[in-house]
Structure 1
Amino acid sequence: MDIKDMARPLDGAGVSAFLRSLPAEPLLLGLGEARHFVGELGELRNEIFRHLVEHEGYRSFAIESDCLMGLMVDDYITLGTGTLDEVMERGFSHRFGTSPANRELVRWMRAYNQEHDEKLRFFGFDAPLEYWAESPRQALTALYALLDGPLPYTMETLDTLIGPDDRWSNEAAAMDPSQSIGQSAEAQRLRLIADDLVALLDTQAPQLSAEDRERAALYGRTAVGLLRYHYWMADASPARWARLSALRDAMMAANLHAIAEHGPALVFAHNLHLQRNKSSMPLGDQLLEWWSAGAIIGAHLGDRYAFLASAFGTAGDNTPPPDTVEGILSTLPWDHSLIDARHLAEAVTKPAPRVSHDFAYFPLDPAQLDTIDGVVFLKEAVKLD
Structure 2
Amino acid sequence: MATDIKDTAHAVEAAAVMRLLPARPRLLALGEPTHGEATLLDLRNELFRQLVEQEGYRTIAIESDCMMGLVVDDYVTSGTGTLDDVMERGFSHGWFNASAPNRELVRWMRAYNDGRPASERLRFAGFDGPLEMTGAASPRQALTALHGYLSARVDADLLPCTAETLDRLLGTDDRWTNPAAMMDPAQSAGRSAEAKELRLLADDLVALLDQQWPHLITTTSQDNWDRARLYGRTATGLLRYHYWMADTSPARMTRLCALRDVTMAHNLLAVAARGPALVHAHNAHLQREKSTMQMWEGPVEWWSAGALVSARLGEEYAFMATALGTIRHQGVGTPPPDTVEGFLYALPEDRCVIDAPRLATALGDTRPAPRVSPYHGYSPLDPAHLAGVDGIVFVKDVPQIRKP
Q: Same fold (TM over 0.5)?
A: yes
- Paired AA for residue 39 in structure 2: E
Where 1:32 maps in the other structure, the secondary structure is: strand
- In structure 2, the residue matched to 1:4 is 6
The answer (yes or no) to whether the contact 2:36–2:97 under 8 Å persists in 1 is no
Shift of 1:330: 1.0
Where 1:235 maps in the other structure, the secondary structure is: coil
For residues 261-287 of structure 1, what are the alpha-carbon distances to aligned partners after superposition, in whole Å with 9 as ceiling and x for unaligned? 112100000001000000111224632
Deviates more, 1:56-65 or 1:21-30: 21-30
- Paired AA for residue 357 in structure 2: R
- In structure 2, the residue matched to 1:378 is 395
In the alignment, does 2:356 pair up with 1:341? yes
Where 1:375 maps in the other structure, the secondary structure is: strand
- In structure 2, the residue matched to 1:361 is 378
Looking at structure 2, the residues matched to 332 and 263 of structure 1 have their Cα atoms a distance apart, in angstroms, of 36
Structure 2 unaligned blocks of 5 or more: none
For residues 227-285 of structure 1, what are the alpha-carbon distances to aligned partners after superposition, in whole Å with 9 as ceiling and x for unaligned? 00000000010000000000000000000000001121000000010000001112246
For residues 181-236 of structure 1, what are the alpha-carbon distances to aligned partners after superposition, in whole Å with 9 as ceiling and x for unaligned? 10111000100000000011112223332122101000000000000000000001
- In structure 2, the residue matched to 1:33 is 32
Looking at structure 2, the residues matched to 141 and 285 of structure 1 have their Cα atoms a distance apart, in angstroms, of 35
Looking at structure 1, the residues matched to 176 and 238 of structure 2 have their Cα atoms a distance apart, in angstroms, of 10
- The alignment's TM-score, normalised by the length of structure 2, stands at 0.92
- In structure 1, the residue matched to 2:294 is 282
Shift of 1:97: 4.3
- In structure 1, the residue matched to 2:168 is 160
Question: CA distance change for structure 1 residues 353 and 113 in 2, over 3 Å: closer, same or farther?
Answer: same
- In structure 2, the residue matched to 1:61 is 60
- In structure 2, the residue matched to 1:144 is 147
Shift of 1:108: 0.2
Looking at structure 2, the residues matched to 344 and 242 of structure 1 have their Cα atoms a distance apart, in angstroms, of 33
Alignment size in residue pairs: 382
Where in structure 2 are the equivalents of 1:1-385 lying within 5 Å?
A: 2-11=4-13, 15-95=14-94, 96-117=96-117, 118-131=120-133, 132-147=135-150, 148-150=154-156, 151-208=159-216, 209=220, 210-284=222-296, 286-316=298-328, 317=331, 318-348=333-363, 349-384=366-401
Looking at structure 2, the residues matched to 114 and 321 of structure 1 have their Cα atoms a distance apart, in angstroms, of 48
- Paired AA for residue 138 in structure 1: Q
Where 1:35 maps in the other structure, the secondary structure is: coil
Looking at structure 2, the residues matched to 157 and 285 of structure 1 have their Cα atoms a distance apart, in angstroms, of 37
Among the aligned pairs, what percent are the same residue?
A: 63
Deviates more, 1:324-333 or 1:265-274: 324-333
Shift of 1:152: 2.6
Where 2:136 maps in the other structure, the secondary structure is: coil
Structure 1 unaligned blocks of 5 or more: none
Looking at structure 1, the residues matched to 296 and 367 of structure 2 have their Cα atoms a distance apart, in angstroms, of 29
Looking at structure 2, the residues matched to 184 and 381 of structure 1 have their Cα atoms a distance apart, in angstroms, of 47
Where 1:356 maps in the other structure, the secondary structure is: coil
Shift of 1:344: 1.2
Looking at structure 2, the residues matched to 4 and 60 of structure 1 have their Cα atoms a distance apart, in angstroms, of 32
The answer (yes or no) to whether the contact 1:88–1:97 under 8 Å persists in 2 is no
Shift of 1:331: 1.6
Looking at structure 2, the residues matched to 304 and 211 of structure 1 have their Cα atoms a distance apart, in angstroms, of 23
For residues 15-67 of structure 1, what are the alpha-carbon distances to aligned partners after superposition, in whole Å with 9 as ceiling and x for unaligned? 21331331232100000011001111111111100000000000000000000
Looking at structure 1, the residues matched to 163 and 306 of structure 2 have their Cα atoms a distance apart, in angstroms, of 36
The answer (yes or no) to whether the contact 2:16–2:353 under 8 Å persists in 1 is no
Where 2:274 maps in the other structure, the secondary structure is: coil
Looking at structure 2, the residues matched to 125 and 337 of structure 1 have their Cα atoms a distance apart, in angstroms, of 27
- The alignment's TM-score, normalised by the length of structure 1, stands at 0.97
